[in-house]
Every structure is written in C-alpha cells, then in structure tokens.
C-alpha cells in the first residue's frame, strides 16, 4: 500500500471510528480483551455518564510514533487531552470505566463509569459537577418503549388491509394516490427489526446495532419490527399489510433490548440512545421516530436539540401516564403523539391510532399491538408522505398541518393522512 494511501486510511479511522474500550466478560475494562461492551451489562441504578471536552489534536509525528499518534486503537476518535483528563478523573475518584466513546458533534468524550464502593451516586455526581474538568456528569438512565405487553396475540398468515385500524382510520389508501413516501429515509431508534420479514424486504436501507453483536436477537426483536411495519410495510405484494409510507426507506438504530425476564418490555439507556442520536447527526435522515421515553436527560437533550437545529423532524410517543415532561418529549420542537381517545389532547400534541394495531412480527408473522409507540409510528409515516411532496417542510409546519387536518374517525379526533396530503397539495397550488 502506498504512503499516501496509508495516510488517508489513518485519517479516516481517526475521524470516523467509534471509541470503545475493550472490556472483560464482567463488563469492566479488560487488558487487551477483544470482548465488546454490551449495554445490558450496565446498571442504570448504579452507573454514571461522564463527559469531558474532546479537542482533536494533530497526530504525533515523533520518531517511533504511528500515523495516528499514541492513541490506543480502542480509543480512536478521542483526543489525547481528553483521554488524559478522563484518566486523571478515574484515578482521583476511584471510578471503573465500562465504556467510552467520542461525540464529535458536541465536542465531548463520554464514558460510562461504575462509582467506587461505599460512594452514593448522588454525592459523586455533586462532587463531579463542581470539578472544572467535567463538562457533564449525570446518571446513566433507563428508557422504555411504549407498547402494552398484554396485547391480544392472534396470528395472521393471510391478513387483510381492512384489519389495519390505523391504515383505515387515517385514510392512508387515499393519500397514496398522491404520495407513498418515495425518497424519504426514516430513522427508527428502537429495538432491532426483523430484516428478513417479507414486508420489510427492500424497505430497510441500513441497520446499526448499538447494544451488542447479537444478530439473532436483532432480527427477533418485536417492538422495532412492529414500528417498522406500521411505517413502511411493502404494498401490493399480495401478502400481509401495507405501511403508511410503503415507498419510504428505514435506517434502524438498535438502542433498546429485552432483559432476560419473561414478559419484560424493552429498555434503553443514556449510553445507547446517545450513540444512536450522534450517529444520526452524521446522516441526511429527515425523520427520527422515537417510540420510547424516560426521564429528562441532559446529554440526550443536547443531541436532540442539535438534530432539531439541523431541520430534522423528530416524532416521539407520549408516555402512558400522559405527562410529557421527560426525554424526548421535553425538548422543544419534538412532535409528541398520543393514542387517540375521547379526552382532549394537550396543546400541540397529536392524536393517532394506537389501539389494536395489526402490524409485522418477527418470523414473517403479524399480530395486534397497542400503545403510543404505534401512534407515533403512524405519524412518522404520514410525515414521510408530506416530505416526499414538499422536502422543505420543517417540524413547525408539519405539526401545524397535521393538527389542522385531523379528522374525526370512529368518534375520535386524530391525524388523517389523506386530509394532510390534500391540504398540502392545495396550499402549494395556491402559492404564487
């Protein structure tokens, strides 16, 4: 390989590769172990997220150094100053590092740590917050997807479109005469998705596993498969169902996983969600579907604010308790969606079908499921229909359009795909 090629390769690695510490099988940093940190090994009741400034410096060119300087291969993307500060903090406070990674859009190097024995997390965070070297110190937090775990479980090998309540109630078929979401890419931040499902063949553009290296679990995850089917299940294939935006493409970011407990819902944490949002910042994806939620989180809030500043349209599910005061609903500009019911929705919150929704399941299956996760998926699909017609739309105009075009269906006021698309087309015709 030529010297120039080596330089280019080195720069590509230094600028783009994720920094992840090698860990032992117990989830703690190892000595040269090639094992990969799994998010499930982290403890949201114990661990913290710590960030320091990450100023990128030119690689060392002293004799004996490599093209990448002296940064260990497991920590590419982290500046020497950031690594030195982080190591000093570890020694000073007795922290055990579980995983670390750079977040270039925020200029930070972040790591997940286990506090030392005998130290309470709250006291440690207060102390770290007063340390001038620390840019951010917060708990590692858990998040959950919003789907009822006790939904009915009939299985359909030969389902019909008229069984899809959301598809029918939003008049999606009528909207498809004008738009099917072609050319729009939607990021699904969720569990994994069954990539082999016949309804999703050709619909998934790329996948990213930010939890572990378990490809089998990725394809077997129900929640992400359900959301993906609602958004973009293939149409006119003589089987199954039809997505709200059947010509849109999906980018799947697995940030949530299922604990090994029967009947437990999927969970996520600050670490996995931050990696997903940071990765999306490096893409041109316009729509981000977050059918999940949890407590307010400073790091995730910063990342989501950057996505919104870049013109991304973020669709989020309202928590089951109806209080949109945590992540991601607490970030201004996020489009919050609840399951349509008889009660009046909070100001600015959209209502969409989310009860007994027929959608895809792993293993070529179909099933009914319920929750605001499904309501958010319907809205993400409708937004794709709108952006295919008018790519210049921003989140404010999309929310206003969906609120203004909502219709009463089955006695409930909820978003209507056909009305939104037709209203958009009419507005564009009348624009000089």
User: What are the residue numbers of the active site?
Assistant: 190, 223, 373
Torsion angle of alpha carbons 160, 166, 168, 172, nearest 10°?
Answer: -110
Q: Report, in this order, helix, strand and coil percent for the chain, each rounded to 5.
A: 30, 20, 45
Q: What are phi and psi of 395, to 5 degrees?
A: -60, -40
**CA gap 250, 253 in Å, rounded:** 10
Helix axes 270-281, 298-309, angle to 10 degrees: 20
**CA gap 415, 216 in Å, rounded:** 36
Strands 292-293 and 287-290: unpaired
**CA gap 199, 364 in Å, rounded:** 8
> What's the token pair of residue 239?
């089987």
* Close Cβ partners of 261 (under 8 Å, ≥ 6 residues apart): none
Buried b (16+ CB within 10 A) or exposed e, 308-341: beeebbbbbbbbeeeebebbbbbbebbbbbbbbe
**CA gap 260, 59 in Å, rounded:** 44
Please answer whether residues 124 and 94 qualify as being in contact, where contact means their C-beta atoms are separated by less than 8 angstroms: no
Q: What are phi and psi of 244, to 5 degrees?
A: -65, -35
* Close Cβ partners of 145 (under 8 Å, ≥ 6 residues apart): 190, 191, 223, 256, 265, 266, 268, 291, 292, 371, 373
Q: If DSSP codes are grouped into helix, strand and coil, which group holds residue 144?
A: strand
**CA gap 310, 394 in Å, rounded:** 10
Helix axes 417-429, 395-404, angle to 10 degrees: 110
**CA gap 266, 268 in Å, rounded:** 7
* Close Cβ partners of 285 (under 8 Å, ≥ 6 residues apart): 185, 186, 187, 251, 312
């Amino acid at each position: 390989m030529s010297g120039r090629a080596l330089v280019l390769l080195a720069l590509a690695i230094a600028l783009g590769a994720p920094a992840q510490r090698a860990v032992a099988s117990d989830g703690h940093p190892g000595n040269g172990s090639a094992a990969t940190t799994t998010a499930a090994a982290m403890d949201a009741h114990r661990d913290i997220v710590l960030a320091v400034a990450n100023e990128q410096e030119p690689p060392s060119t002293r004799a004996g150094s490599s093209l990448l300087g002296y940064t260990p291969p497991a920590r590419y993307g982290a500046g020497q100053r950031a690594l030195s500060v982080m190591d000093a903090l570890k020694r000073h406070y007795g922290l055990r590092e579980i995983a670390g990674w750079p977040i270039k859009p925020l200029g930070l190097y972040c790591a997940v740590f286990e506090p030392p024995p005998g130290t309470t997390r709250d006291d440690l965070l207060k102390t770290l917050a007063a340390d001038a070297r620390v840019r951010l110190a917060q708990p590692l937090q858990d998040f959950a997807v919003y789907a009822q775990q006790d939904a009915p479980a009939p299985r359909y090998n030969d389902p019909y479109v008229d069984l899809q309540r959301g598809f029918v109630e939003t008049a999606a078929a009528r909207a498809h005469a004008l738009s099917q979401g072609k050319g729009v890419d939607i990021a699904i931040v969720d569990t994994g998705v069954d990539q082999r499902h016949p309804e999703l063949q050709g619909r998934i553009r790329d996948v990213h596993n930010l939890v572990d290296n378990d490809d089998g679990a990725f394809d077997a995850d129900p929640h992400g498969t359900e959301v993906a089917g609602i958004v973009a299940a293939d149409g006119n294939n003589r089987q199954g169902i039809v997505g709200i935006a059947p010509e849109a493409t999906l980018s799947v970011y697995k940030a949530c996983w299922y604990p090994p407990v029967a009947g437990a819902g999927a969970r996520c944490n600050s670490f996995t969600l931050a990696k997903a949002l940071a990765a999306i910042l490096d893409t041109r994806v316009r729509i981000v579907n977050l059918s999940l939620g949890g407590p307010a989180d400073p790091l995730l809030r910063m990342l989501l604010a950057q996505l919104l500043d870049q013109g991304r349209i973020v669709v989020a599910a309202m928590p089951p308790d109806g209080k949109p005061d945590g992540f991601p609903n607490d970030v201004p500009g996020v489009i919050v969606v609840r399951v349509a019911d008889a009660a009046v929705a909070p100001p600015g919150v959209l209502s969409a079908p989310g009860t007994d929704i027929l959608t895809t399941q792993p293993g070529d299956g179909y099933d009914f499921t319920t929750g605001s996760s499904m309501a958010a998926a319907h809205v993400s699909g409708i937004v794709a229909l709108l952006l295919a017609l008018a790519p210049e739309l921003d989140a404010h105009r999309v929310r206003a359009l969906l609120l203004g075009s909502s219709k009463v269906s089955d006695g409930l006021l909820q978003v209507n795909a056909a009305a939104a698309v037709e209203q958009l087309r009419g507005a564009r015709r009348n624009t000089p």
